[in-house]
Amino acid sequence: MACDAIYKLGAPIKGVAAEHLLKDFSLVPTLNTFIKWLGSLGLDFFPILVVDLLHKFELGVFKSVFKHLLRLLYAIDHESVMLLNERFFSIASFRKGAI
């Protein structure tokens, strides 16, 4: 609706109409290929975007969530924690030829 107001009706990008429609979700009035081709079929592409949890969480929040996940693993099966440790320690450390 905001794109229609801007591109078809000539409303200003920072105008009241566009701001009213977009401000609640911090959206921007850009044309998107997914919406252009699949929007008429009812595609809402926001749920298909992948969330990057490491950038979403602050370090302290991630640390407490990770501790909780470890407690869950201990409660479910002790061997799953051992498997996690093996996989973690198989990752090469930071040096030449590594990450």
pLDDT along the chain (99 residues), means of 10: 80 81 76 77 76 65 85 89 88 68
CA angle 22, 42, 7 (to 5 degrees): 45
DSSP class of residue 23 equals G
Residue 48 has φ and ψ, to the nearest 5°, of -90, -5
Q: Are 11 and 17 in contact (CB under 8 A)?
A: yes
Model confidence pTM above 0.75: no
pLDDT of residue 11: 82
Q: What tokens does 15 get?
A: 């105008």
The pLDDT value given to residue 99: 53
- Torsion of Cα atoms, 90 then 94 then 98 then 99, to 10°: 100
81's tokens: 């924690």
pLDDT value at position 53? 63
What per-residue confidence (pLDDT) applies to 28?
74
- Scored b (16 or more CB within 10 A) or e, 25-47 reads eeeebeeeeeeeeeeeeeeeeee
Predicted local distance difference test score (pLDDT) of residue 71: 92
Domain boundaries in the chain?
2-46, 53-89
